[in-house]
Amino acid sequence: MKTRYIAGIIAANSAIFFALGLILMLNFKIENINILIIASILLFFFLNYFFARFLIRREIYEKVRTIYKNIYNFKVSKKSLKQKIKTSTIGIDEVNNEVEQWMEDSNKQLDNMLALEKFRKEYIGNVAHELRTPIFTIQGYVSTLLDGAMDDKELSKKYLLRAEAGIDRMIEIVQDLDTITQLELGAFPITYSDFDIIPLIKEIVDNLDLKAKERNIKVVVMNPVQVLVNADKDKIRQVLVNLIENAIKYSKDNGGEVRIKHFDMEEMYLIEVSDHGIGIEEKDINRVFERFYRTDKARSRQFGGSGIGLAIVKHIVEAHNQTINVRSKYGEGTVFGFTLNKAKN
């Protein structure tokens, strides 16, 4: 029923009730007009009060109650809903609060859905972009060979090696995508053990020595004493390889230095990998752990990599229930730090 009809009914009944009150009072032949007026007003008030209450309950309260029930259909189980409605009284203020809360939750869910949709589109676009480069490279070399370059053995070998490099890059991207998917699904459980992280760091530094020398970068393990941690050694190896390799990659050419440090934090150790390289702009700091997000796209692709190494690093560290952070000053260098629990024994 529309509000103007409800208002009209209440107004009409008000006039009827007031007239009825006057008639009743006049029948009692009350000489004092003031008493007659007061009695009529009181009778009018009570009659109108009960009528309005009945009308509001019928036309408004029941509809609000239905809305309230529908909201709870989204928030609680049917059993909980039935019990709550059966045992509780519903006030307008409570309904208002519930509706506002429901609207707020719905808006948050909508915002999350829009953000996820945006991320999905960006993610698919980034994957396609990352794969497009090696695919076109391989296609170009293979087409050239088929067009007659195969007759030149030296050129054939050169193009096949470049095509192989493109295939290796595609394999790296696919493997990293598979790794991060498995990490997100929890398919790679963490196998904890106590080990000294310093020999592991030295091993990784030795393996990356050639890359460092190619760019005249010095890699230094600071204070190389025993550091016993409790973690998954293979996964922490992957974390360190990514961080140290990135530090070498983004250090300044000729004379740059990468430092690996550790700090005793009572129940845990903080491991830091720092460089004196190009740094990261402030606008990019919060996005460096996103998949395929590159702060320097041209330089990143120049040195290879899948673009999701830091995302994998973050997942591995957080799977250990630890934290990873980054601080950087553009043009001066970057520091990545992550924590690990100390060895139990």
Q: What is the pLDDT of residue 298?
A: 43
Q: Which two tokens stand for residue 195?
A: 């080990």
The mean predicted confidence, pLDDT, of the chain is 77
Q: What is the pLDDT of residue 329?
A: 86
Q: What is the pLDDT of residue 185?
A: 75
Using only the alpha carbons of the chain, give its radius of gyration. 37
What average pLDDT does range 279-291 have in this prediction? 82
pTM of model > 0.85 = no
**Per-domain boundaries in the chain:** 3-90, 119-185, 193-341
pLDDT exceeds cutoff 50 at 81: no
Contacts of 217 (CB under 8 A, 6+ apart): 211, 248, 251, 256, 257, 258
pLDDT exceeds cutoff 60 at 89: no
Q: What is the pLDDT of residue 178?
A: 78
Q: What is the pLDDT of residue 219?
A: 92
The class level of CATH for 119-185 reads: mainly alpha
Q: What is the pLDDT of residue 200?
A: 95
CA distances in angstroms from 249 to 183, 206, 213, 215, 303, listed in the order given: 25, 16, 11, 9, 7
**pLDDT (tens digit per residue) in 20-73:** 666 665 665 555 666 666 666 666 666 666 766 676 666 666 666 666 666 656
Q: What is the pLDDT of residue 299?
A: 45
Contacts of 36 (CB under 8 A, 6+ apart): 22, 25, 26, 30
Q: What is the pLDDT of residue 261?
A: 94
* Alpha carbons 202 and 194: distance in angstroms, whole number: 17
Residue identified by tokens 């059993």 is: 79
pLDDT exceeds cutoff 90 at 203: yes
What average pLDDT does range 95-119 have in this prediction? 73
What average pLDDT does range 221-233 have in this prediction? 92
Fold entry, domain 193-341: Heat Shock Protein 90 (3.30.565)
3-state secondary structure of 124: helix
Q: What is the pLDDT of residue 106?
A: 74
Top-confidence range, 25-29, 105-109, 155-159, 171-175: 155-159
Sheet holding 268-275, edge to edge: 218-221, 257-264, 268-275, 333-341, 324-329
The full 3-state SS of 239-298, as one line of letters, equals: HHHHHHHHHHHHECCCCCEEEEEEEECCCEEEEEEEECECCCCHHHHCCCCCCCCCCCHH
Percent of the chain with pLDDT over 70: 63
**pLDDT (tens digit per residue) in 121-134:** 766 766 776 778 78
**pLDDT (tens digit per residue) in 234-271:** 999 999 999 999 899 888 777 788 999 999 998 999 99
In CATH terms, are 119-185 and 193-341 the same topology?
A: no
Top pLDDT among 184 and 119 is at: 184
What average pLDDT does range 155-165 have in this prediction? 87
| Beta partners for residue 144, in sequence order | none
What average pLDDT does range 273-278 have in this prediction? 89
